[in-house]
Structure 1
Amino acid sequence: MGAMRLTQVTTADLDRLEFHAVRSGEHGRIAAQLLDLANRVDAGSEVTRAELFVRAGEQWEIAQEFERACAAYQRAMDDGGPTVVDAHALSAGALLQLDERGLAYEHLKRLESGGQPGLQTHIHVAEVLYAHDDLEGAERWATSGARWFSNRNLSAYARDLFDELLRIRFRIRTDLGLAEDDLDLLLDF
Structure 2
Amino acid sequence: MTLTCLRGSLLMDTRGGDSPQQDTDRGRAVEFTYRPTAADFEEALRARARRSPAGRAQLFMAPLIATVAVSVFSILHDASLTVWIVTLVLSVAATSWGAVRGRRIAARRMFGFMEAYGQCHVVADDRGTVTTGERASHTTGWTVYREYLETTGLFVLLSGDRAAGFAILPKRGAQDPADVDRLRVILDRNLKRL
Which bracket does the TM-score occupy, shorter chain normalised?
A: under 0.3
Q: Whose RCO is larger (CA < 8 A, sep 6+)?
A: 2
TM-score by length of 2: 0.27
For the pair shown, the structure with the greater C-alpha radius of gyration is 2
TM-score by length of 1: 0.28
Which is richer in strand?
2
